[in-house]
Amino acid sequence: MITQMQVKGLMFDPYNNAYIVVLRDEDEAEMLPIWVGKSEASAISLALEHMAPPRPMTHDFMKSFLDAYNAKVISVVITDLNEHTYFAKIHLMYEDSEYAVDSRPSDAIALAIRSEAPIFANESVIRKQNSEELEQWLENLKPEDFGKLDS
């Protein structure tokens, strides 16, 4: 099962000195935060704001490469989450054949927005994200957080 997601926005995470791309489903019931680097965040932000930079940026170049031979991005799927690393697939149509290309989610999302292609997430990723979040929360608990129970 896959769920269609919308890019809700970008946030700065000062704790990790990174950016978070926030994806939400249409009912806003599920949220998928994806940590990306500064240049990946800027590639996504330029596309969200429909900014046309004076020179083609890397993902504009990527799109020109596909456009040159009429290859179309059909969709992008966030497929897996493993040890805090997200995996994605870009589905393309080229000369009547469908291709699925392995990618980082940041490249997939930056390209999807420029190609006006939908973004999906596997339900297992959303479930795993919830449990990894819980794990991270547990890891961050300090001994004194437990100590409170005694006193």
Residue 82 near another protein by CB under 8 A: no
Q: Which is nearer to another protein, 12 or 99 (CB)?
A: 99
Question: Are the C-beta atoms of residues 126 and 3 closer than 8 Å to each other?
Answer: yes
C-beta of 101 vs 134, nearer to another protein = 101
The reply on whether position 130 binds another protein by CB under 8 A is no
Q: Does 48 bind another protein (CB under 8 A)?
A: no
**Which of 75, 85, 72, 62 has its CA nearest to residue 5?**
75
Q: Which residue in 7, 34, 62, 125 binds another protein (CB under 8 A)?
A: 62
The token pair at 97 is: 């054949």
H/E segment holding residue 18: strand 18-25
| Cβ contact 34:86 at 8 Å | yes
Give 30 or 77: the residue with its C-beta nearer to another protein. Answer: 77
